[in-house]
Amino acid sequence: QKEVEQNSGPLSVPEGAIASLNCTYSDRGSQSFFWYRQYSGKSPELIMFIYSNGDKEDGRFTAQLNKASQYVSLLIRDSQPSDSATYLCAVGAGTASKLTFGTGTRLQVTL
Amino acid sequence: EPEVTQTPSHQVTQMGQEVILRCVPISNHLYFYWYRQILGQKVEFLVSFYNNEISEKSEIFDDQFSVERPDGSNFTLKIRSTKLEDSAMYFCATPGTSGGAYQFFGPGTRLTVL
């Protein structure tokens, strides 16, 4: 059974701080890694994807991948109240493969 | 700009009834996926569809479920005889015209089975 594990939270950070979200996966054959943001009652919104070990930055978001440790993380710098949502980690086997999701981490950015 | 739209946004049905959920791509896409999310639970893969054929399906996707692309454009998920436990959000997803391993999700259909 291929699993993706996340801490359900809530993770509470003050406005302007760095939020750090973590995810581990069980399938060593995984090739593609994604972070989705999901607001309550809405569909998942893709915010980051990463395929290679290391860091990938896009604006306030940085995704980090360590395949040896089977670990993916998402850093959100200068957290804003609008970042308050559930962040879903998803893992795929490559192009056109299904995605396996974690249960998500609920982030709360406090004023 | 969403890659896909879904109709209806909310469907209420009686147990045992058939429902058809629709996914309408904005552009000409080849790959489609259906996922579901039971309230408070994780997003689960149901089925993938490529070039008018099922390419992979999960154990959830049993004989009660079917998918097709009846007119070469819309992509449908049919549940033949709904059960209470089919109540969930159903999402269509696609990589879009740019391809790639990532998937863009539609807005979803909330299915409520009474």
Q: Is A25 within 8 Å of chain B by CB? A: no
* Residue of chain A with shortest Cα separation from B90: A43
CA distance B82 to B16: 5
- Tell me the pLDDT tens digit for each residue of B16-30: 999 999 998 876 777
> What are the tokens at A64?
């980090």
CA distance B15 to B84: 6
What rounded mean pLDDT belongs to chain A?
A: 96
Cβ B83 vs Cβ B65: under 8 Å: no
A68, amino acid identity? A
| Helix, strand, coil percent content, chain B, rounded in steps of 5 | 5, 50, 45
Q: Residue B44: list chain A partners with CB under 8 A.
A: 101
Classified as helix, coil or strand, A97 is coil
The distance of A15 to chain B (nearest Cα, Å) reads 26
pLDDT band at B51 (very low <50, low <70, confident <90, very high): confident
Percent of chain B scoring above 90 in pLDDT = 69
> What are the tokens at B90?
């159903």
> What are the tokens at A72?
């993916």
pLDDT band at A40 (very low <50, low <70, confident <90, very high): very high
State mean pLDDT over B35-41. Answer: 97
Nearest C-alpha neighbor of A83 from the set A100, A49, A106: A106
Q: Is A47 within 8 Å of chain B by CB? A: no
* Residue of chain B with shortest Cα separation from A39: B107
What was the pLDDT predicted at A84? 98
Name the residue with tokens 């007119």.
B71
